[in-house]
Amino acid sequence: MTTPHRLLLVNGPNLNLLGTREPGIYGSSTLADVEALATATAAARGFELRAVQSNHEGVLLDAIHDARRDCAGIVINPGGLTHTSVVLRDALAGVALPVAEVHISDVKAREQFRHHSYVADIAIVHVVGEGVQGYATAIDRLIAVITGQADG
């Protein structure tokens, strides 16, 4: 079986508010801007992209589970679930796909509770604090791992 040339982009709670939520931290780009950048970045490397954003953890878990069928990897910005969700971590581990974790802000330079990520030990790519452009970086790095051009 050949590896599908598709990635799942997962954006967690409150990321639907990009562009209006705390622009001093997250910038003025919207979620639509993020998805357009991610789609274009993946396409430039010959990959399709399916995007999901939800404020409901179960919707994100279902999308991650479904990715087993037709995706080669997952790019995720879990939002606040980064620091709280063992079940999200377990879903990512359970599907056994390569994962890139991305955060718009530098979470290590923010409040102490943001310093721990339940996703960190599952992800093979970590991009933090590059703003929205970090999504493109994460996609490029993840595709390099998937295609054997880089180690995870």
Catalytic (active-site) positions: 26, 103
- Annotated binding-site residue? 11: no
- Which DSSP state fits 65? H
23 alpha carbon, distance to own chain's centre: 20
- Annotated binding-site residue? 90: yes
- Annotated binding-site residue? 77: yes
131 torsion bin: left (phi>0), alpha (psi -120 to 50), beta (else): left
Question: Which has the closest alpha carbon to 74: 57, 58, 55, 94?
Answer: 94
Residue indicated by tokens 């993840």 = 142
- Annotated binding-site residue? 143: no
Question: Which has the closest alpha carbon to 139: 64, 42, 61?
Answer: 42
Torsion angle of C-alpha atoms 16, 141, 152, 144, degrees rounded to 10: 130
- Annotated binding-site residue? 28: no
Angle in degrees, 0-180, between the axes of helices 86-95 and 57-70, rounded to the nearest 10 = 10
- Annotated binding-site residue? 104: yes
Known binding residues for substrate are 77, 83, 90, 104-105, 114
Known binding residues are 77, 83, 90, 104-105, 114
